[in-house]
Structures are given as structure tokens and as C-alpha cells.
Structure 1
Amino acid sequence: MAQADLDTTISALQGGLTSIPAEAALANIESWQEQLKDAAPEIASALGELKSQLASGNASGIAQALKQVGSKTTEAAASAGGEAGTKAQQLGQMLTQAGNSIS
């Protein structure tokens, strides 16, 4: 995972889900899918589901997909070391919280 990509995604989420334009969110998801397709296929697959749910506009599906991506990211972060692992853990927690915030 590229440090700059982690920082950019964390920064975007800190502004709140509704502050991220749909096109930017989809582009960010696609970028992560591409980066993770070989190294972390489970996360890449969960990102694909999130992208599908965003396209459908199904709030409960989006919430569930965010929580799934968050959980898988947090799990992967546990085995990553250093600053990237810490930031990935932060990102995973933020994604899970974002999913929990959607009602």
C-alpha cells in the first residue's frame, strides 16, 4: 500500500462520507482494487462489492460493504508493520465507523 494513498484516503474520510464526490469515491475504490488485487484479493473483492453498492445507491448495502472492507483492512493491518500498518489500521477503523454511521 502506498503511503500517499493511505493518507489521501484517510483525509477524505475525515471530511465525512458525504463530502466525497461519487466520482472521486469510485476512482479511489478502483485505484485500491488495482493495487490490492494480487496482494490482498479479499480486500479487492470487498471493494468491488462496495463499488457495486455505491452504484446502486442502496444505503444498507453500502453500510454493510463499508463494514466488510473496514474489517478486512483492519485484519490485514494487523500483519503489516510500521507506519503503513498503523495507517491501514486507522483506515480500517474509519471505514467500519462510516458503515456503522449509515442508517
Structure 2
Amino acid sequence: MNDLLHATLSGLQNGLTSLPLGSAMDNTETWQQQFLQSGQPELQDIAREMGNLQSLLTSGSLSATSIGNSLTMLGDQTSQVSHLASPDLKANLLKLADTLRRHGHELLAHAAK
């Protein structure tokens, strides 16, 4: 899980458009499966929002507002579950949460123009 977390953070550091859609989909599917199988309601909620994000990304008409809201929601959910993580994962989970929220807010700001 630590390797997957590092890969996710690395992929998002350069911005959303630098991450190929196929890679983003593979990454979210891997997280989604782990979270769905976790048996923890908080993680299953994140998995459902990831499914929503995947649908938004593959719908054919990308909505900056919808994708921005989804990323912001995922950031908030990730921050909320960081207390469940071991200390070595917690800092990176919080960094991921901040990154997701930042990208979400950037998309929302762009959509409002």
C-alpha cells in the first residue's frame, strides 16, 4: 500500500493533465478494489466516490465542476480516514488529501471563469 500511495502522489504532483487517463484509471481501480474489500465503511465510501470519478472521466464530456467536486470530496474523505493509518502512512495520506483538494479547487475555480 505504501508503494501505491507513493505512486499516486508522484503522479498527481505534476498536475492532473500530466497523468495519462489510462494510468489514472488503473490507479483508481487498484485503490477502489482495496477499499471495497476492506470492510471499513469509511474506505468503502471513498471507493464509491472513486467510482463516481471514473464515471466522470469516461463520460465523454468532461465537466470541470463535477470532477473538481469529486476530487475535493476524495481529498476530504482521505483526510478523514488518515487517523486509521499507521504513522508511516499518515503523513503521505494527508499530503494526498491536500493534493486532491488543491486540484479540485483549481478545477472549480477554472469552471467558474
Same fold (TM over 0.5): yes
Q: If the length of structure 2 is used for normalisation, what is the TM-score?
A: 0.85
Q: How does 1:16-95 map to 2 (within 5 A)?
A: 16-39=15-38, 40-56=43-59, 57-95=62-100
Runs (4+) of structure 1 moved beyond 3 Å? none
Per-residue deviation, 1:81: 2.9
Aligned residues: 102
Per-residue deviation, 1:73: 0.5
**Is 1:12 aligned with 2:6?**
no
Per-residue deviation, 1:80: 2.1
> Residue 7 of structure 2 aligns to which amino acid in structure 1?
T
> Residue 33 of structure 1 aligns to which amino acid in structure 2?
Q
List runs of 5+ in structure 1 lacking aligned partners.
none
Larger Rg: 2
> Residue 26 of structure 2 aligns to which amino acid in structure 1?
A
Q: If the length of structure 1 is used for normalisation, what is the TM-score?
A: 0.93
Q: Percent identity?
A: 31
List runs of 5+ in structure 2 lacking aligned partners.
none
Q: Could you say what secondary structure the match of 2:58 adopts?
A: helix
Q: CA RMSD in A?
A: 1.0
> Residue 56 of structure 2 aligns to which amino acid in structure 1?
Q
Per-residue deviation, 1:58: 1.6
